[in-house]
Structure 1
């Protein structure tokens, strides 16, 4: 690693793309030093790192898109013990005033790090959780493709010739696939709608069968990997391999970036709305739902604030809310370390 030519402290911003990355360096007082373009390759990553150290000691590097085009450079900088932060996209007002260009976006990313504006620590993406994410992407794609293929097969049967539709009517999904695969079509008579439909149905059935087999195989690998990486989380009641994989991918390979349950809820998009922005809910009488008189009480906090007490939930709503709270609490205690929860498991591959 090249040592810094000067001892000035610098910030760097990187605007990422598929083939090239634009980087800008500013001092800790906000003075633009230089900006340059590098290739999005391992050689380009090393050149970018060396170029940064030539201008000073990097404090932090702001990258736009650490989960897409910036994943490679983020991993490279992390391996070199350089702090990486995710920066948001430039707002429209700034783009309208200063224009839109890659050097401007890189400089804006560097100034966002200097100002500490809407920063977040990105996922490292270099551990077993990244392996789980890759398997989830492949399986989700296979499941969606199998569903689309099966829907196309059923839609084709609806408009098929009468004798063919009668032959395939009333079958279960597995039996329908077997029946369509067993159909014989004459390739020399494809001008006949019946033979062409038979050929199309057999092709769709084979495709659906293969995609389902692939999805099942990926699910077995995913379940095995999830059990090895996070056995405590997998043991939580009600969490299957798919749900557990989603939770682990949300946390990432560096769970220390989530400082509290609130930050975990924000990452999972399950945080609560502010009270004054919450939509009003319908008020249902508890007495009418339970055929029992309701005792009215005024909490001290409500009287002091001058607001009306919140209506009591219905029995069904209370049970549903209790189940959600129980499952959420169990999942959080299994993933996030806390004072009231047992020590969190170490996410390592065995």
Structure 2
């Protein structure tokens, strides 16, 4: 048996114009602006620092190759805005070897407005993704990479470690000792990030105290 398609409901002009009188009534009852307000013009709020730099970058579209001078100017402007804020919040952190303005700002943001909520340095290490995770098997005792936590904070700790490996003699001595114990370079960097997390935790919760660098 052949089925016929359902019939569509016929749409009349009266049905289409059903809402038109209501819209006309709404427009008619809308209050008109007062004569005293017609000549006023709203003041445009001052642009924020991010919008200002964004507009500047829009004038120069991204092209492959080295960054343009405008990008360097934007970075310098943002550093000039961030540096006094970070210094006022935690001067001991910004004075630590290997900690720059962006790194300190990221760690402060990760700790939050209430660093006391972090129960211990182990909790802060887990928050930053540098807590060691056991991955032993049989007679092999090792720890694997922790892929959790705040990756921006993890990157900040990584920058501190790389800077100290290049400029700090004590960190180099620690690396040489670990190399003799047959640890790979990634494993050494993980250990150093854990030490740096312990130091920065003390600086974030108790800015007056400073620990010795590894």
Common fold, TM-score beyond 0.5? no
Q: Based on CA coordinates, which of the two structures has the bigger radius of gyration? A: 2
TM-score of the superposed pair, with normalisation by structure 2: 0.43
Instruction: State the structure with bigger RCO (CA 8 A, min sep 6), 1 or 2.
Output: 2
TM-score of the superposed pair, with normalisation by structure 1: 0.28
